[in-house]
Structure 1
Amino acid sequence: MAKVNISLDADLVVEVMVLTGVGNPQDAVELVVRDYIERGHRTEARTATRDEALRTVDVRPRDVEG
């Protein structure tokens, strides 16, 4: 996989390290990014399932009252 170098605010990185419990700044930030991406995929999957259920319409003819 290709690597990218970026600069981040040191306070931000330290906070990420504390929250993740990881001592290596690179690993801590990578862990947060991977988690963010996975959450997005899970949300998309849940939303797609719900949207698909809303699109499914009961096509049985209704009983006519009268």
Structure 2
Amino acid sequence: MAQVTVTLDADIAIEAMLLAGTKSPQDAVELIVRDFLARGHRTEARTGDAADGQRVTNPKPIVQEG
């Protein structure tokens, strides 16, 4: 897997470490990003995409006149 170097403000890195419960800023950022991506995938799975809205929409009933 490719490695990427990201520069963060020290305050952000410390806050990320506290939220993630890690002692390494690199581990903290990796865990937070992985969680963010997983949450996005779960949301997409639950809501679907824009094309799914047309598939599940009930057609309007035909009103009979007369």
TM-score tier, shorter chain, comes to 0.7 to 0.9
Identity across the alignment (%): 53
Separation (CA, whole Å) in 2 of partners of 1:57 and 1:39: 25
Per the normalisation by structure 1, the TM-score is 0.75
Alignment of 1:16-55 (within 5 A): 16-48=16-48, 52=52, 55=55
Structure 1 unmatched runs, 5+: none
Separation (CA, whole Å) in 1 of partners of 2:57 and 2:21: 48
Structure number with the higher helix fraction is 1
Classify the secondary structure of the residue corresponding to 1:29. Answer: helix
Separation (CA, whole Å) in 1 of partners of 2:30 and 2:44: 21
Separation (CA, whole Å) in 1 of partners of 2:13 and 2:47: 32
Q: CA deviation at 1:38?
A: 0.2
Q: CA deviation at 1:55?
A: 2.1
Amino acid at match of 2:5: N
Q: CA deviation at 1:58?
A: 6.0
Match of 2:14 in 1: 14
C-alpha change, 1:52 and 1:9, in structure 2 (3 Å) is same
